[in-house]
Structure 1
């Protein structure tokens, strides 16, 4: 089976809503969750009824479960790929497909002690499939790095394989023309909760909650896929909580 990158999977769905949520505690620990939802009304609008392959599924697992279950396959991968699998060992995944209730979503999440330790959750499902099916691991064209020193939070997305990125971008442009006449539900939302009040956000379109501790920033998904660096962000917190 031909490998399809996590980023390309999102693109091919054409009607996906992605929400990246981060909660940071006072000690710098926290949680991250990437929720990918296929909007079923948009999907059916494209004339794509459910196929026999889309049977009911509701699966929850931790990546380490796959490393243990497919230990023989794991041993066949090179040291670099094995190390990549181990980076995702604590990542939790929830995959649900319900044709009757018209639900189709993936939830990928992880706890962290330091935000710099977060692996690229956008490739976790693809890596799990590679391990399960013994597919070659295909590296992504991008990586996301997070940093937080207690007062300044940064999200930096870097293109690490320009050739692959350009290829994916060209395919996206072709699909964008193909579905231009449809009104599809496509969104990419960043929702971050901080332990102190927010002083400033580098993107002026960000919405800050009334208690100033939560920031929400919404993009058009296709814009992010074509120019993912627009999601780069810096959030500066107040030195002291507002009274």
Structure 2
């Protein structure tokens, strides 16, 4: 059991120290717009290669794949029609999503991007869940060419809200605080092991970043997160944090709140 736990920690550690993540949302006057999350896993690919995950005798893999979910809905419309209504609605909500994966193993390039155009704010409230569907597609198609690195693709479950002129990015784990407290107790041993392992990667953790960028149609009145930068026109907020800080302060991004001017 402990051996499995150590292996799990090692895999997660590698993912954390080797991945830059950027989340960007651009809103128009009607709070529709475009959503994009990008992962730069190039360091991860290089690390996996250095650990001997692939043979030097094998030809290096290279791909540039674009998946448009609307094409999938059209292609498999007959099969989708037989699914439960709830699942059909979920898939229809993904019709404007695209996914692009770029990998050049020889040059240690591995980038993964998911985007969505939306007409109403409600269409991105649960976009992190929809992203899981897209990532599953990647794992079953292009990402299988990426080897072990592809298995580490994952997203945090967050929800977005906009009401009373306030935008919120909320960590879904807060929905049931009792479950969160229970998980903290049950995983305390794992956390200690993880922190011990991660201490060996401090420099890499400091270099790997999580970046949030939101562009609004009106000027920003206030932001809840200290250290957030506001553009000169007052409409764009940018928050960047290294993975080391996030590892030791898991609640840092529990609730990111931006209040707009009237």
The TM-score bracket by the shorter chain reads 0.7 to 0.9
Q: Which whole-Å CA distance do the structure 2 matches of 1:130 and 1:45 have between them?
A: 17
Maintained 8 Å contact 1:32/1:111: yes
Maintained 8 Å contact 1:188/1:220: yes
Q: Which whole-Å CA distance do the structure 2 matches of 1:80 and 1:169 have between them?
A: 37
5+ residue gaps, structure 1: 1-8, 134-139
Maintained 8 Å contact 1:11/1:222: no
RMSD: 3.9
Maintained 8 Å contact 1:157/1:229: no
Matched residue SS, 2:253:
helix
Structure-1 residue corresponding to 2:135: 126
Structure-1 residue corresponding to 2:199: 180
Per-residue deviation at 1:92?
0.7
Per-residue deviation at 1:165?
7.0
**Which residue of the other structure, out of 37, 40, 46, is the alignment partner of 2:40?**
37
Structure-2 residue corresponding to 1:99: 105
Per-residue deviation at 1:157?
2.2
1:149-164 pair list within 5 angstroms: 149=163, 151-159=165-173, 162=179
Structure-1 residue corresponding to 2:15: 13
Q: Which whole-Å CA distance do the structure 1 matches of 2:53 and 2:189 have between them?
A: 28
Which TM-score applies when normalising by structure 2? 0.68
**Which residue of the other structure, out of 217, 239, 261, is the alignment partner of 1:217?**
239
Closer, same or farther in 2 for the Cα pair 1:206/1:91, shift >3 Å? same
Higher Rg of the two aligned structures: 2
Structure-2 residue corresponding to 1:136: none
Per-residue deviation at 1:230?
2.0
Maintained 8 Å contact 2:60/2:106: no
5+ residue gaps, structure 2: 1-10, 143-153
Closer, same or farther in 2 for the Cα pair 1:178/1:68, shift >3 Å? farther
Matched residue SS, 2:132:
helix
Per-residue deviation at 1:102?
2.2
Maintained 8 Å contact 1:19/1:190: yes
Which TM-score applies when normalising by structure 1? 0.72
Closer, same or farther in 2 for the Cα pair 1:155/1:35, shift >3 Å? same
Closer, same or farther in 2 for the Cα pair 1:19/1:172, shift >3 Å? farther
Q: Which whole-Å CA distance do the structure 2 matches of 1:126 and 1:142 have between them?
A: 12
Maintained 8 Å contact 2:96/2:118: no
Q: Deviations over 1:65-100 (max 9, x none)?
A: 334445677577655444433332221100111113
Q: Which whole-Å CA distance do the structure 2 matches of 1:41 and 1:128 have between them?
A: 20
Q: Aligned pair count? A: 225
Which of the pair is proportionally richer in helix?
Answer: 2
Structure-1 residue corresponding to 2:223: 201
Per-residue deviation at 1:141?
9.8
Q: Which whole-Å CA distance do the structure 1 matches of 2:188 and 2:46 have between them?
A: 22
Q: Which whole-Å CA distance do the structure 2 matches of 1:58 and 1:115 have between them?
A: 30
